[in-house]
Every structure is written in structure tokens, then in C-alpha cells.
Chains A and B, each alone.
Chain A
Amino acid sequence: MSDKVKETTTTITTGDAPAAPREPSAQERAWEENTLRPTPEKSPERQSEFTTISGYPIRRLYTPADLPGWDPNRDLGFPGEPPYTRGIHSTMHRGRLWTMRQFAGFGTAEDTNQRFRYLLAQGQTGLSTAFDLPTLMGYDSDHPLSEGEVGKCGVAISSLADMEVLFDKIPLANVTTSMTINSPAAVIWAMYLAVAEKQGADWKKLSGTLQNDILKEYIAQKEYIYPPEPSMRLVIDTFEFGVKNTPKFNPISISGYHIREAGSTAIQELAFTLRDGMEYVEYGMRRGLDVDQFVPQLSFFFNAHNDFFEEIAKYRAARRIWHKAMVERYGAKNPRTWALRFHTQTAGCSLTAQQPYNNVVRTAIQALAAVLGGTQSLHTNSLDEAWALPTEFAATIALRTQQIIAHETGVTNTVDPLGGSYFVETLTNEVERGAWDYIEKIDAMGGMVAAIERSYPQREIAEASYKYQVAVDKKEKIIVGVNDYVATEKPLDILQIDESVARRQAERLSKLRADRSKAEVDRRLSALRKAAEGKDNLMPFLFDAVKAYATVGEVCDTLREVFGTYEEVAIT
């Protein structure tokens, strides 16, 4: 066999079926002999190995030989039924398009409220809120550490007053909102619920999502405040509260997006996210919650990176893994517990500062992968992602990208169009297998909190991200416009956030502190502190505190006093 034809005799595993040798049919062998073998000698393949962006090797051709023992009824199934490979609803996007939910937020609550209403008017079907770094880290806009940061990465929210402005003229009863907030998530949720109450919305019908996934903060995004155990207590408090009070609200969005942005591979993204999910399930069950009651409210959030088929395989594998885990590990009986629901965001880290209009193309292809993978909700990044927060112009193109996919491409005409593809089904199997390997490794460490404490996922991610950078620097991975097809270009018009935002926030906070009852705030913060020291569910106490206009910083500081703060061991 010519060495230009790399024969990969591999063993194949289908999910957890034992490894089977790859046995090409007689016709395939004939093809290899008669048609393939002569070809490389005349026109060799462009690379000695072809891999996914995560480094996973890909064969020249996928045939039935790659799916020995593959059973369409067991492994593929039908949409809306276990194992959910094809999707969680029987009609998927024929029945209802994914929610077009563009992440937005900058400056003051007024600025963001305007952008929210603009995007809704342009046809987006759900809201998604980006908060600024001070808010994310539990500091008021006028805290010394907030200097220079107010309104720069998202909207500045320091109190319920800001939250009321944020949702001005937006009826929370009719619009679903996602809030990307983690350490102070319960506090911000309390504010959201207070706004909803003020608007007369019924909590039992209120729908939306709180990101509130603290495990991935330790692993990747690093917006932690408190140590793991009290942080998990806060998260489970939201689950418990959610089951009783907001059955249609997702109190968590268990995220792989950030793990991928930090540089993980697709398989690591999948494995760490789902294992985080299992950790939350276990903590919830230890609290005494019924798995079939609270787990249906848990949602997920994945990245949509450049490698089209690897991403599609990832989403399909995710649904299969989750179903299996819920049944086998936790004895779940409710189909709504088994069915993994997810939001997707196209990969910010894949977008370039150079030739930014190319990013429209990247985002479109990534979005297409998410749609073909069966996402329930989608955010598409803007072309100026590598330079600043999106301008209105750039955000509009990003939204139009989704609308074009939905209405012009025909991909929503049928459910799971790629089902049955030898390549996609093989890749789904292999991504699933790779993820289970990681999941079992973390099990053996004692679970995800234990794995985080020994920096396991953090090190895996650092390693993967470095390996990728080395490949890019060596031009083994081409990034158009960056390490090839380079061109000189004019600067882009970008969104500027000026320092007047900080000033306006400071003024607003002064007024707030003057207008509210300090005695009432102190009383409620005191009650919160006492509850935090005990075992009560903190949501009612947070709700009381924010309604008296205690600020984000005051509430978070109260919890800092009780829970302490966390610092990671920095590994490079």
C-alpha cells in the first residue's frame, strides 16, 4: 500500500458497545485497490493527516464499515424519543424555530433597554442580558475596583432600580429573558422576579434562563466570588426555589461555551459540561429534590465552533449521553428529565480582528451547525467581536444570519437532516465515547468539585489551548486573514463606551442610598446574613433585600462576610 494512502485500520466503538474491527466490504476494498490507490500517486492528498479542529483524526471516507453493530433503533431513534440523537421534539424546527436570542448589554440600563427593544423589533424572539464586570463580580458601579470597567463589557446593574429601567416597556410575562450572571445570579434573579412582580406577571408562567453555573467559573470563565461549597448551596437554593415558584424558568444554563472559549477541545467541552450537569443533579438530589421535578428545569449552553461536523456530532452525542446518564445514574423516569435542552452561541474565540467582515461568514457556518445539531436557542456573534461590543449595524447582520438560515436555506424543512450519514453517525459515536472517557475519569476523582480542586479540567484546557496556539503559530492550522491571506485594511467603526456611564451610575447610586430606608436595608441584610450562616434557602431573603433597594455590592458583601472568597491556584 503506497505510503501516500494512509490506511487507518481502526477499531470502532458504537457508544458503549465493545470495540469492533473495521471490516470494509468487498466493494470498498475493490475501490481502494482499483480507484483510490492509483490516485494519490498522481495527486497526493493535501495533508498527511486530516483532523477536526479539536485534533480528532478524520478518515478519507466513511462507509457502513464504520458503523459495525450500529442499530438505528437503539442508536438513532426518533426525534422526541430516547435516545434523542435526532432531537428532543418530534417536529423540531418544523414545529417551532429555535429562539433567536442575541446576547446584548452595554452602558447603562437605558442604553441596553434601547438595544433590547431594537433587537426585538428586528425580529429576535428572546432576550439575553450581558452584565458588566463589576456586576458580574458583585461590585457596585461606584466601588473602587469598578473604576474603568463600568458598562464596558455589559450593562451596569447595581440595584433593583437599574433592573426596572432595563426592562422598561418590556413585558416579562410575554418575553423570555436569559441572564448571563453567575456568582451573583441569585441576587440578579431576585431583582428580575421583583420586576416581574411589579409588572403583574405571574411567576408560575414566567419563562427565561439564569446562567448560574458556578462550576464552569472555576473551570474556565473565572468569575467566581465565593468558594465552591457555599456557591453550590446558592445554586441549589435557586433550584429548590424554582421548582416551587417558577416551574417554567430555567434556574441554570449548564455551560460548555466558556470552557470551549478557554481553549478546550470539543470532547472536553462536552464532557466537562455534562459532568458539571451530573454534579448539579447529585447536589440537588442530596438536598432532597426529586430528580424528575427539578432536572427538567435545567438547561444547557454549548459553543458552535468552526469544525462544522464535529459540532453537529457533539450536540447529538450530548443528548444521547444525558439521557443515558439520567436513566442509569439517577433512575429518572420523566422524559422531560431525559431530554437535554440547549442554547448555543457561535464561537467568539474563532473570530478575528483582521478582516472582520470574514467573521460574518464564520458565524453563519457555525450557526448552521447549531441548527443542524438541533439547538433550542441561538446567539450569533457580530463581526466586530474581536474589537468591541457590537454596534447596532453588526448586531443586525448577526440576527439576519439566523433569519436567513431559518427562512431561506431549507434546512428546517426536515428533522435531523444529517441522520444516517455514515460520517455524522460515526463521529457522533466517537465524540460520545471520548466524552464518556472524561466523565468516568472525573467520576473516579470523586466528582467535578473534587476534579476542580485538583485543577484537572483547568489543566486539560490549558494544555489544549496551548497545543492549538502552537499549531496556529506553525501554520498547521490556517486562520484566514491572520496567518494566511493577510491584507492591510482600514480600521472598523466600533462601539465606544465612555466614562460618563460610570459617572451616571455613581449619581444614581447616591440618589438611591439617599432615597431608600437605610434601616430597612440594614435589617434585611442582617436577616440575609443570619440565613446565610444557617441552612435556609436564601432566595426569599435575597428577594426581601433587593426590594428594599439593597445594592448588588451590599448583598454580595454580606455573603462575602459569611462565605469568604475564593482564589484559584494559577496554573499556566
Chain B
Amino acid sequence: MPEKKIRVLIAKPGLDGHDRGAKIIARALRDAGMEVIYTGLRQTPEMIASAAVQEDVDVIGLSILSGAHNTICPQLMNLLREKGMNDVTVLVGGIIPEADIPAMKQSGIAEIFLPGTSTQDIVEFIHKRLAR
């Protein structure tokens, strides 16, 4: 029986429109055989959480370069908990000061990928994390 494809939501939360990374990751994950939904720009945490539920995704990838991560991430994690999405893997990519990473991981974010990360590393992380 063919395995169910991994479903990923790639989201751009907040006001920032710099989407080069998000689009590349979306395409790389697609090329790696995953089903990817890209939300487009200027998503609120509510919109992202709703989309994640609606699309029944395994992974949410947030692209944040704006410095708003300490506001956006806790809001999103709370919403996901409220909606019962406790099993979804949340990943963040972008510009995140190292000092902020421990708190983000404590809040349930599985991994933070900084500039310079290769797309293979992200693909491998997802496969390993979901054990498929």
C-alpha cells in the first residue's frame, strides 16, 4: 500500500513580503515528494492555524525574517493547541537571534533553520521527525 504523502503548509506570517526562502523550500519539499500548500503573504496566526486544520497537514513551516517571531510563534502555538493540532510539527526558518531559540523550542517548535541551511537538511529533518 503506498504511503500517504507528507503534507506541509508553508506560511508567511506577519507583514513581511520577502518570500524567496519560503518559495524555494516549498518547491524543494515538493520535489522531495511531499504535498505542499503555500499560503502566500501576510497571514495572521489565525489564518495559518485554520489552514493547517483545513489542509490536515503534518508539518507547518513558518518563514519569518521580520523580527516578529516572539509575537507570532506563541500566538500560533496557542491556536494550534486550542484547535487540537498537537501532533503537527512546527518548523521556523528565517532570521532568528540565537538567544531566542531555546524559548521557541520550549514552546513546541521542533526546529529553527537559520540562513545557510540546505534544503536537504530540511527534507531529512522532516523525514526523520515523522519517521517516514
A355 and chain B: residue at smallest CB distance:
B116
Is the pair B15, A133 in contact by a Cβ cutoff of 8 Å?
yes
Is the pair A387, B95 in contact by a Cβ cutoff of 8 Å?
yes
Is the pair A568, B40 in contact by a Cβ cutoff of 8 Å?
yes
Is the pair A472, B23 in contact by a Cβ cutoff of 8 Å?
no
Is A149 an interface residue when CB atoms closer than 8 A count as contact? yes
CB-defined interface of B59-70 with A at 8 Å, one 1/0 digit per residue?
000000011111
Q: Which of B10, B70, B99, B116 has the most CB of A within 10 A?
A: B116
Binds A, one of B24-32, B49-57, B77-85, B103-111: B24-32
B120: A residues at CB distance < 8 A: 473
Binds B, one of A238-246, A284-292, A462-470: A462-470
Is the pair A388, B17 in contact by a Cβ cutoff of 8 Å?
no
- Partner-A contacts on B (CB < 8 A): 10, 14-20, 23-24, 26-28, 30, 36, 38-41, 44, 66-72, 95, 97-99, 114-116, 118-120
A568 vs B17: C-alpha distance in the bound complex, in angstroms? Answer: 11
Is the pair B67, A149 in contact by a Cβ cutoff of 8 Å?
yes
A349 vs B20: C-alpha distance in the bound complex, in angstroms? Answer: 10
Question: Within the complex, which residue of A137, A354, A388, A479 is in contact with B15, where a contact is CB–CB below 8 Å?
Answer: A137
Is the pair A133, B41 in contact by a Cβ cutoff of 8 Å?
no
Is the pair A465, B99 in contact by a Cβ cutoff of 8 Å?
no
A353-B114, A570-B38 known; 4 new pairs, CB 8 Å cut-off, are: A133-B66, A152-B67, A349-B20, A571-B23
Is the pair A387, B17 in contact by a Cβ cutoff of 8 Å?
no
CB of B94, distance to nearest CB on chain A (Å): 10
B14 and chain A: residue at smallest CB distance:
A149
CB-defined interface of A443-475 with B at 8 Å, one 1/0 digit per residue?
000000000000000000010011001001100
CB of B50, distance to nearest CB on chain A (Å): 17
Is the pair B41, A222 in contact by a Cβ cutoff of 8 Å?
yes
A49 vs B131: C-alpha distance in the bound complex, in angstroms? Answer: 40
Is the pair B95, A572 in contact by a Cβ cutoff of 8 Å?
no
A246 vs B13: C-alpha distance in the bound complex, in angstroms? Answer: 39
Is the pair A148, B70 in contact by a Cβ cutoff of 8 Å?
yes
Is A567 an interface residue when CB atoms closer than 8 A count as contact? yes
7 contacts between A and B (CB under 8 A): A136-B15, A137-B15, A148-B14, A152-B68, A262-B18, A469-B119, A497-B67
Is A327 an interface residue when CB atoms closer than 8 A count as contact? no
A571: B residues at CB distance < 8 A: 23
Closest CB pairs A-B (n = 7) = A148-B71, A222-B17, A152-B67, A148-B68, A570-B40, A133-B15, A572-B26
CB-defined interface of A140-157 with B at 8 Å, one 1/0 digit per residue?
000001111100110000
CB of A570, distance to nearest CB on chain B (Å): 4
